[in-house]
Amino acid sequence: MSSSAMSCEGTGWRGRLIAEGANALYLHVPFCVQKCAYCDFASWATPRGDTLLARYAQALGKQVEEASRLGMLDHCETLYVGGGTPSLLGENLGGLLRVVGSCAPELSELTCEANPESLSGTLLDDLVEAGCTRLSMGVQSLCDGELSELGRVHDAARARDRVVAALAHGLNVSCDLMCAIPLQTAESWQSTLEGIVSLGVDHVSVYPLQIEEGTPLGLKVGDEEPAWNSPDVQADRMTQAQAVLEGNGFRRYEVASYARSPQSECRHNKAYWTGKPYLGLGTGAASMLTREGYLRLMEVCPQLGPLPECMSRVRLKVLSSRQEIAEDPQLPSLKFEEEFLTERQAAAEDLMLGARLASGLDAGLVAYARDLLGQSVDETLARLVREGYLSDALAPTEKGWLLGNELYGELWDLADGCETLVRRSS
């Protein structure tokens, strides 16, 4: 088997460091009906009739075809169309899924993010017909007052109705919920959690609200930490979510992710946490490629600079704007930020990401990291077990879940604290 035909499975942990393509494809759709009060994501309020929506979707389709011609999607198993609000693309979203489906022969999980206000019955019909298997719904809360404080467009009734409709279409449905938000109480959070569970979804993601500088919410709260978002409240709400969801048959498989069964876990997100290479297209989208994957992309992207010596992993971020992408979709025209990691840094990053998973650190990864980084790996892991962040099986404990940033920081420090190399292409 030539290396170009090699998938990242079957060659041990090292295999994923030499795969030439991507195991996962992310497409970013940067359009929303309106900007939520807390949002600092790459998304812009865009009228539904704006021709930019169709032109941007077609441009992404062309980039997917170019990546496919390079062989980068030969072993791509999952697609995630995120945003922004992909459902705002309407019929263009199904068209994009069809393009990806024709370019990635091993694709078996196709997720689209959707928001209740733009998820019509016609769109659901088309998504199913186009091969969509999962829908990730931005519900956030089932309390109208809380939704209004967040600046969301939908209300609770619309969210419930659209989740039920998506389930009736046979899709695996995941709901995003947000805690430690204005007006939320333990009782209202309980009612949101129980309400979502009662709808019959198989997957729930739970996040504490991060108040970002410069957003309307950030400007409103100023420098004071609001009581509703304190670290204690965040921890209480996450613990409450765990109790309700686990009490209703869900299992927490990642710090923020719960699934009713292993089959309903999000394989795409698991690729991010298990060192598998991924390609991200669309404004602001991130990729993580091996040396070989980067060299392959360089074949058509002369704007990417030469690969620095001793670098084994590249993170790319698309810097081109949505208008630039729509007007000139060719891969050679894209602007990227490039970040290079040494093999040591890549191993430390994989340990850090692996510690998000309930299954704990993969034995193959630990052995590989030990070979590369020496006895500091065992010393650090032993200390994290002693201090209660990890169990003996090297899985996160309650403390590890709640104080994740400390745990991840300790593992990243195994890279010896060296800075990653960052540069921009144009």
Q: Does 41 bind ligand SF4 (CB under 6 A)?
A: yes
Q: Please work out the total of residues on this chain that contact ligand SF4, with binding judged by CB under 6 A.
A: 11
Token pair of 268, please? 């795409």
302/304 Cα distance (integer angstroms) = 5
Pairing of strands 44-45, 31-32: parallel
CB closer to ligand SF4, 61 vs 83: 83
On whether the CB atoms of residues 65 and 95 are closer than 8 A, the answer is no
- What is the separation of C-alpha 291 from the centre of its chain, rounded to a whole number of angstroms? 22
According to CB under 6 A, which residues from 98 to 137 bind ligand SF4? 115
The stretch among 18-26, 65-73, 79-87, 210-218 that binds ligand SF4 (CB under 6 A) is: 79-87
Stretch that binds ligand SF4, among 18-26, 30-38, 163-171, 273-281 (CB under 6 A): 30-38
282 makes contact with ligand SF4 (CB under 6 A): no
Q: Closest Cα partner for 207 from 234, 243, 231?
A: 234
Least Å distance between CB 176 and ligand SF4? 9
Residue 174 interacts with ligand SF4 (CB under 6 A)? Answer: no
Half-sphere exposure of 191 (CA within 13 A, CB side): 10
Burial degree of 87 (CB within 10 A; 0-12, 13-18, 19+): buried
Chosen residue from 85, 87, 229, 290 binding ligand SF4 by CB under 6 A: 85
Q: How would you write 280-324 as a 3-class SS string?
A: EECCCCEEEEEHHHHHHHHCCCCCCCCCCCCEEEEEEEECCCHHH
Interface pick for ligand SF4 out of 22, 25, 32, 414 (rule CB under 6 A)? 32
> Whole-number minimum distance, CB 215 to ligand SF4, in Å?
9
Among 35, 169, 251, 370, binds ligand SF4 (CB under 6 A): 35
Question: Segment contacting ligand SF4 (CB under 6 A): 60-68, 80-88, 118-126, 257-265?
Answer: 80-88
* Residue 368 near residue 12, CB atoms below 8 Å: yes
Q: Quick one: which of 278, 264, 306, 329 has its CA closest to 63?
A: 329
C-beta of 82: minimal distance to ligand SF4 in Å? Answer: 9
Does residue 84 touch ligand SF4 according to CB under 6 A?
yes
Residue among 116, 118, 122 nearest 164 (CA):
116
Torsion region of 360: left, alpha or beta (phi above 0 gives left; psi -120 to 50 gives alpha): left
Segment interacting with ligand SF4 (CB under 6 A) among 77-85, 220-228, 371-379, 406-414? 77-85
Three-state DSSP class for residue 136: strand
Query: Pick from 43, 118, 141, 234: which binds ligand SF4 (CB under 6 A)?
Result: 43
User: Interacting stretch for ligand SF4, rule CB under 6 A, among 82-90, 101-109, 300-308, 416-424?
Assistant: 82-90
Stretch that binds ligand SF4, among 31-39, 231-239, 373-381, 384-392 (CB under 6 A): 31-39
Q: Under the criterion CB under 6 A, does residue 81 sit at the interface with ligand SF4? A: no
- Based on the shown chain and the rule CB under 6 A, indicate whether residue 39 belongs to the binding site for ligand SF4: yes
- Write out the DSSP string of 137-206: EEEE-S-HHHHHHHT-S--HHHHHHHHHHHHHTT-EEEEEEEES-TT--HHHHHHHHHHHHHHT-SEEEE
Least distance from ligand SF4 to the Cβ atom of residue 184, Å:
16
Smallest gap from Cβ 136 to ligand SF4, in A, equals 11
Task: Using the rule CB under 6 A, give the single segment among 37-45, 159-167, 219-227, 343-351 that binds ligand SF4.
Answer: 37-45
Q: 36 or 139, CB closer to ligand SF4?
A: 36
In the complex, least distance from residue 39 CB atom to ligand SF4, rounded to whole angstroms: 3
Q: Which stretch binds ligand SF4 (CB under 6 A): 38-46, 55-63, 180-188, 259-267?
A: 38-46
Are 216 and 178 contacting, i.e. CB atoms less than 8 angstroms apart? Answer: no
Contact 131, 95 (CB under 8 A): no
Give the residue carrying structure tokens 């994923």. 16
Nearer to ligand SF4, 43 or 174 (CB): 43
The pairing of beta strand 311-318 with beta strand 172-179: unpaired
Shortest spacing between CB 353 and ligand SF4, in angstroms: 23
Identify the residue whose tokens are 């002693």.
Answer: 386
Contact pattern from residue 135 through residue 154 relative to ligand SF4, giving x for each residue in contact according to CB under 6 A and a dash for the rest: ---x----------------
User: Residue from 24, 27, 29, 36 that binds ligand SF4 (CB under 6 A)?
Assistant: 36
Residues binding ligand SF4 (CB under 6 A): 32, 35-36, 39, 41, 43, 83-85, 115, 138
